[in-house]
């Protein structure tokens, strides 16, 4: 049996939902073999979703969001081992995608 629900993320929370959140907030964290407690070093290995989004941001995203486009890394500053390669992408802006580049 499949149950489908539509959720309006802009709707205010119901009294029942608020009660569930209050109850969940006071519950203790329970660790097990599938979800063990992590030490500081292990936690440091995780990256926040904000950091990951920032790393994967394209130049056109900066344009769309009105952010300052970062300065590109100098080619000589990129250090590679013998087993690595680097592919350069020179342009990824809305102007380029729309074919308005000289």
pLDDT of residue 3: 86
Per-position pLDDT tens, the chain of length 102: 888 888 888 899 999 999 999 999 999 999 999 989 988 888 877 767 667 666 677 777 777 888 887 777 777 787 888 888 777 666 555 665 665 555
Can you give the pLDDT at residue 19?
95
* HSE value, Cβ hemisphere, 13 Å, CA-based, for 63: 10
Residue 80: the pLDDT is: 83
Give the model's pLDDT for residue 96: 58
Contact call for residues 60 and 93 (beta carbons, < 8 A): yes
Q: What is the Cα–Cα distance from 46 to 26, expressed in whole angstroms?
A: 25
* pLDDT for the residue numbered 50: 64
pLDDT in the model for residue 27: 94
What does 14-70 look like in DSSP terms, one character per residue? PHHHHHHHHHHHHSPP---SSS----HHHHHH---HHHHHHHT--HHHHHHHTPPPP
Q: Rounded CA gap, 88 and 75, in Å?
A: 9
What CA–CA distance (Å, rounded) separates 102 from 72? 20
């Amino acid at each position: 049996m499949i149950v489908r629900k539509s959720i309006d993320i802009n709707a205010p929370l119901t009294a029942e939902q608020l009660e569930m959140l209050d109850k969940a907030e006071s519950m203790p964290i329970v660790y097990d073999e599938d979800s063990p407690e992590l030490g500081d070093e292990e936690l440091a290995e995780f990256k926040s979703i904000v950091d990951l989004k920032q790393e994967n941001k394209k130049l056109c995203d900066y344009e769309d969001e009105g952010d300052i486009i970062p300065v590109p890394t100098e080619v000589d500053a990129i250090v590679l081992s013998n087993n690595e390669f680097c592919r350069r992408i020179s342009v990824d802006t809305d102007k380029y995608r729309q074919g308005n580049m000289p």
